[in-house]
Amino acid sequence: MKYYDLPASPNARRVRIFMAEKGIEIPTQVVDMMKDENKEPWYLAKNSLGAMPVLELDDGTCIAESGAICRYLEELHPEPCLMGRTPLERAQVEMWHRRAELEFLLPIISIFLNTGKMWEGRRTQVPAWADFVKTQVEQSMTWLDKELDGKDYLAGADYTVADITAQSAFVMAKAALKMPIPEDLTNLNAWWDRVSARPTARA
Amino acid sequence: MKYYDLPASPNARRVRIFMAEKGIEIPTQVVDMMKDENKEPWYLAKNSLGAMPVLELDDGTCIAESGAICRYLEELHPEPCLMGRTPLERAQVEMWHRRAELEFLLPIISIFLNTGKMWEGRRTQVPAWADFVKTQVEQSMTWLDKELDGKDYLAGADYTVADITAQSAFVMAKAALKMPIPEDLTNLNAWWDRVSARPTARA
């Protein structure tokens, strides 16, 4: 197998953390997006959308989309379990995984794309949209703080792929958008300290 | 079990089509969003985000997020299979399901929220964002047309949840946004005719 990576991408990071939690090591090739390597024919043959990450199997089959790569690795390496052990647990982890993506990861990436200096001239930026999304993410942080009352992790007692996706989103919010978790959100800050202390957090 | 539904929502529709394909009948209660029923305490207790659909189990446990509901129903009712039979198939269906969501469903809902008359005064609308997303969706339709060359369905030979999500997105694009599939995209139109002809398409 081979992992096509983009070090700064929260999508690539969440798969790296997932692999580190599983103890899986896969040879990695960085794709240089700033040099448009991801739009070259050899890469488009692996993912016609030109996005990272991609997991290439030994027979050349390629799996794109972070959630799909995690699911494949979960089936091949069930332990430690990161996506639930029963049908209900798996549904609840998926619910929280979707919430982490829809309330945090995708909006935070959208703010970055619509305001980031590295994207000026490379794509259309709509700052008014970023302003709106920023208020949405702030509201979602308040919502998640309440949801974490009495829980260690998003889906309950166990650390799962939902936490990995949320922490990858918060890394980008903090580092690239200067949107740290507000201090008064004590449950969310306690969760953040908990996930950030894991040896895999910097994968 | 009980299904909390919003008839016009593409998210609620994709779960209805999924249930119809499986031959599952679940008592349904419509939640009237225009009367803010989804913000009432009894509903927020089922889904604190106030979104539809929700699947409530007999013990009162609630599963929100369409993808999570489909996964739960797939495990309880494996036939007909809609999410893949092997680890690789399941990863490929998930890849295409994500692509259907990220390239079509979420952008199309975003256009609707940012331009729809029913949302005026109910939420912030950024028409410039909708204009940008519209061109993205048009490009994605061209991309999908190429991807469907030689394939009957998104993930390959079998109709899956990825098709269900894409067709639910295209229903909204056609009916609410007046964005039909361009006539020259022959593979995409052939796919659309194929999925629309299924007896479950109007679920």
Task: Tell me the pLDDT of chain A averaged across its residues.
Answer: 97
- In chain B, residues under CATH classification 3.40.30.10 are 2-76
In the predicted structure, residue A121 carries a pLDDT above the cut 90: no
The residue among A83, A87, A91 whose CA lies nearest residue A159 is A83
Mean pLDDT of chain B: 97
Nearest Cα to Cα of residue A157 among A166, A148, A165: A148
pLDDT recorded at residue B122: 86
Above pLDDT 70, what percent of chain B?
100
Pairwise CB contact (< 8 Å): B95 & A68: yes
- Which residues of A fall below an 8 Å CB-CB distance to B? 48-49, 57, 61, 63-65, 67-69, 71-72, 75-76, 87-88, 90-92, 94-95, 98-99, 102-103, 106, 124, 126, 128-129, 132, 143, 146-147
pLDDT band at A122 (very low <50, low <70, confident <90, very high): confident
pLDDT in tens, B122-145: 889 999 999 999 999 999 999 999
Please report, as a single letter, which amino acid is at residue A118: M
pLDDT at B80: 98
Q: For CATH 1.20.1050.10, list the domain ranges present in chain B.
A: 87-196
Q: Do B48 and A99 touch (CB under 8 A)?
A: no
pLDDT digits (tens, 9 = 90+) for A132-177: 999 999 999 999 999 999 999 999 999 999 999 999 999 999 999 9
Tell me which residue in A65, A129, A132 faces B98 most closely, judged by beta carbons: A65
Query: How many other C-beta atoms lie within 10 A of the C-beta of residue B1?
Result: 14
pLDDT at A30: 98
User: Could you tell me which residues of chain B have a Cβ less than 8 Å from any Cβ in chain A?
Assistant: 48-49, 57, 61, 63-65, 67-69, 71-72, 75-76, 87-88, 90-92, 94-95, 98-99, 102-103, 106, 124, 126, 128-129, 132, 143, 146-147
CA separation, residue A61 to residues A2, A38, B119, B151 (Å): 11, 17, 43, 17
Percent of chain A with pLDDT over 90: 96
Residue pointed to by tokens 């950030």: A196
| Residue with token string 């309950």 | A156
Contact flag A72-B87 (C-beta cutoff 8 Å): yes
Whole-angstrom Cα distance, residue A171 to residue A173?
6
Residues of B in contact with A71 (CB under 8 A): 90-91, 94
Residue in A65, A48, A98, A169 with CA at minimum distance from that of residue B149: A48
The percent of residues in chain A predicted with pLDDT above 70, rounded, is: 100
pLDDT digit string (tens) for B136-188? 999 999 999 999 999 999 999 999 999 999 999 999 999 999 999 999 999 99
Q: How far apart are CA A3 and CA A6, in angstroms?
A: 10
Q: How confident is the model at residue B32 (pLDDT cuts 50, 70, 90)?
A: very high
Residue B120 forms beta bridges with which residues? B123
**Cβ proximity of B119 and B113 under 8 Å:** yes
Q: State how far the Cα of B69 lies from the Cα of B81, in Å rounded to an integer.
A: 15
The rounded distance, in Å, linking the Cα atoms of B9 and B29 is: 14
Task: For the domain covering B2-76, report its CATH number.
Answer: 3.40.30.10
- CATH 1.20.1050.10 assigned to A87-196: yes
- How confident is the model over A12-37, as a mean pLDDT? 97
* ipTM of the shown complex: 0.96
